[in-house]
Amino acid sequence: MAAVDIKKGLAGVVVDYTAVSKVNPDTNSLLYRGYPVQELAAKCSFEEVAYLLWNGELPNEAQLAEFTARERAGRALDPVVKQVIDALPTTAHPMDVCRTAASVLGARHELAEDSSPEANMKKAIDLWAAMPAVVAYDQRRRHGQEPVEPREELDYSANFLWMTFGEDPVDEVVEAFNVSMILYAEHSFNASTFTARVVTSTLSDLHSAVTAAIGALKGPLHGGANEAVMHTFDEIGIRSEESLEEAASRAKTWMEDALAQKKKVMGFGHRVYKHGDSRVPTMKAALDKMIAHYGRPELLGLYNGLEQAMDEAKAIKPNLDYPAGPTYHLMGFDTQTFTPLFVASRITGWTAHIMEQVASNSLIRPLSEYNGPEERHVP
* Residues noted as catalytic: 222, 270, 321
How many Å apart are CA 225 and CA 339, to the nearest integer? 8
Q: Which of 265, 280, 291, 343 binds ligand COA (CB under 6 A)?
A: 265
> Is 154 near ligand COA (CB under 6 A)?
no
The amino acid present at 283, given as its one-letter code, is M
Least CB distance from residue 226 to ligand COA, whole Å? 8
Q: Which burial class, exposed, middle or buried, applies to 45 when counting CB atoms under 10 A from its CB (0-12, 13-18, 19+)? A: middle
Decide whether 43 or 263 has the Cβ nearer to ligand COA.
Answer: 263
Q: Is 270 in the site for ligand COA (CB under 6 A)?
A: yes
Q: Which is nearer to ligand COA, 269 or 349 (CB)?
A: 269
Task: For residue 268, state whether it binds ligand COA (rule: CB under 6 A).
Answer: yes
**Which lies closer to ligand COA via its Cβ, residue 285 or residue 316?**
316
- What does the alpha-carbon distance between residue 373 and residue 248 come to, in Å, rounded to a whole number? 53
**In terms of Cα–Cα distance, which of 208, 211, 209 is closest to 196?**
209
Could you give the angle at which helices 338-359 and 206-218 cross, rounded to 10 degrees? 140
Q: Which stretch binds ligand COA (CB under 6 A): 23-31, 95-103, 142-150, 219-227?
A: 219-227
Nearer to ligand COA, 161 or 183 (CB): 183
Site size for ligand COA (CB under 6 A): 15
Buried b (16+ CB within 10 A) or exposed e, 302-323: bbbbbbebbeeeeebbbbbbbb
Q: CB–CB of 263/310 below 8 Å? A: no
Among 337, 280, 333, 289, which Cα is nearest to 307's? 280
Among residues 124, 178, 57, which one has the least CA distance to residue 352?
124
- Give the shortest CB-94-to-ligand COA separation in angstroms: 18
In angstroms and rounded to an integer, the radius of gyration of the C-alpha atoms of the chain is 21
Q: Which is nearer to ligand COA, 264 or 275 (CB)?
A: 264
Residue 321 in the binding site for ligand COA (CB under 6 A): yes
Partners of residue 21 on adjacent β-strands: 32
| Out of 246, 316, 356, 364, the residue judged to bind ligand COA by CB under 6 A | 316
Position 84 contacts ligand COA (CB under 6 A): no
203 touches ligand COA by CB under 6 A: no
The reply on whether position 225 binds ligand COA by CB under 6 A is yes
Question: Least distance in Å: CB of 76 to ligand COA?
Answer: 33
Contacts with ligand COA, residue ranges (CB under 6 A): 221-222, 225, 264-271, 314, 316, 319, 321
